[in-house]
Amino acid sequence: ASLLLGSLGGHLFAAGLAAVLPGVNLDLGVYAVIGMSALSASIIGAPLTMSFIALEATGNPWLTTAVLVAVI
């Protein structure tokens, strides 16, 4: 449940930011992964685990860095 709620929260944050600032191009999937990892790390208490899951799921080291910053 924490993965779903975090993903929805990140997606809604990016969609809301895109609605307020229409000139900004945001990838909703990136924000969904960041939100999913941040909320799950706060509930589970395993920030490195969520960072590694984001790395395995996306294969993107820059996104994993953003996830690591969000979970800390």
Tokens of 36: 């999913």
Tens-digit pLDDT profile for residues 6-58: 999 999 999 999 999 988 888 899 999 999 999 999 998 889 999 999 999 99
- Cα distances from 33 to residues 20, 23, 25, in angstroms, run 21, 22, 17
Using pLDDT thresholds of 50, 70 and 90, give the confidence band for residue 1: confident
Single pTM value for the model: 0.86
Contact 35, 56 (CB under 8 A): no
At residue 7, the pLDDT reads 93
CA atoms of 17 and 45, how far apart (whole Å)? 28
- Outline where 1-72 has alpha helix (H): 2-20, 28-44, 47-58, 61-71
Tokens of 38: 């941040």
At residue 64, the pLDDT reads 92
At residue 23, the pLDDT reads 87
